[in-house]
């Protein structure tokens, strides 16, 4: 099998509506076979997000590792946002209508 055939096989088009390899639900194992836990607290997710960003800023990653770090960072950012939104909803004070006597 020639090199061109190997490249074609590796880079096949995905069926419509399917996610490209390595992208999709955070619970699905991705590259490397590990999944990011959705059970993280805000603080844990923020710490992991910070770690991924520092690794990316260092610039010593291969393209594949950089893509994985970006993918992980997006997931941790989403978890942080979800936790903050949930906290806002819990502490949000709703104005009650005034009653006249």
Domain assignments of the chain as residue spans, ordered by start: 37-93
The model's pLDDT over 64-90, given as tens digits with 9 standing for 90+, comes to 999 999 999 999 999 999 999 999 998
CA distance 53 to 76: 11
Residues 6+ apart with CB under 8 A from 4: none
Burial group, residue 52, by CB count within 10 angstroms (0-12, 13-18, 19+): buried
pTM of the prediction? 0.56
CA distance 80 to 73: 10
pLDDT at 3: 53
Cβ atoms of 36 and 26 closer than 8 Å: yes
CA distance 25 to 45: 17
The model's pLDDT over 2-41, given as tens digits with 9 standing for 90+, comes to 555 554 554 444 444 444 444 344 444 444 445 667 789 9
3-state secondary structure of 53: helix
Does pLDDT of 54 surpass 50?
yes
């Amino acid at each position: 099998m020639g090199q061109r055939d190997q490249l074609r096989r590796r880079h096949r088009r995905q069926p419509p509506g399917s996610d490209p390899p390595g992208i999709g639900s955070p619970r699905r194992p991705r590259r490397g076979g590990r999944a990011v836990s959705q059970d993280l607290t805000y603080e844990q997710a923020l710490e992991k997000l910070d770690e991924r960003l520092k690794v990316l800023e260092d610039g010593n990653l291969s393209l594949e590792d950089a893509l994985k770090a970006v993918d992980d960072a997006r997931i941790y950012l989403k978890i942080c946002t979800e936790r903050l939104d949930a906290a806002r909803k819990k502490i949000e004070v709703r104005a009650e209508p005034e009653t006249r006597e």
